[in-house]
Amino acid sequence: MSRLQVELEKLGKIEMKRLSGLLFRNRIEVEQQLDLQFKRRLFYLSKDDEKRLLTFKVWSEKHHVSIGYILSVLIPFYAQRFRKTRRKQQRGLPCGVATLTGKAAEYWLRKQMEKDFQDQENVELWKQERRTEILLQRDMRLHGEDEFEPRKKTILDYEWPSYYVRAYRKKVISERKQNQQELNSAENKSRPWRGNPFL
């Protein structure tokens, strides 16, 4: 196996690890909101349903609202629409995950948002939260930390010493660039990338 193949295999494992972490954190957030707001919980979910739950995260970013808000709209709506007598439905989700994350659910979410945020207050709040998040992530990268692997890497974590040197050099250059960017922080407002929260 060539070195390139080894590196690609490593990258594949890293991405799978990140996906697993994303699915886990998303499920935990959904479970916390279900318990906090409705005293409900998630029972057994298939792998496909766990991935479907990521739809809430997509909607959260797309519509600039929290997952908690999304659930506060959809759970009562579907609990009323699909009245179940079985105890599991009363304590768990009122319907299947596929229904709760489908197009009809997003339609009702948007309709409720039009009533709750007539002046788009949610967008301004999202911008403030996104700015803070970007700055925190920037600080983490400056200190050699990763969102999914918070432990700092040492030379022992690299297969070859040259890889460590390369990573260290890249880190130093990144810090220099960051220092320059901080001096020109006003540029953040002039960059026209989609969803720029500094505008």
- Tens-digit pLDDT profile for residues 21-36: 889 999 999 999 999 9
What DSSP string runs through 4-17? HHHHHHHHHHHHHH
- Encode pLDDT of 125-167 as tens digits: 888 777 777 777 777 766 655 554 445 565 556 666 666 667 7
Q: Looking at the predicted structure, is the pLDDT value of residue 174 above 50? A: yes
Could you tell me the residue ranges of all domains in the chain? Answer: 3-118, 123-190
Cβ(181)–Cβ(54) under 8 Å? no
To the question of pTM greater than 0.75 for the whole model, the response is no
pLDDT in tens, 46-61: 999 999 999 999 999 8
One-character DSSP codes across 147-191: SS--SPP-GGGSSSHHHHHHHHHHHHHHHHHHHHHHHTTTHHHH-
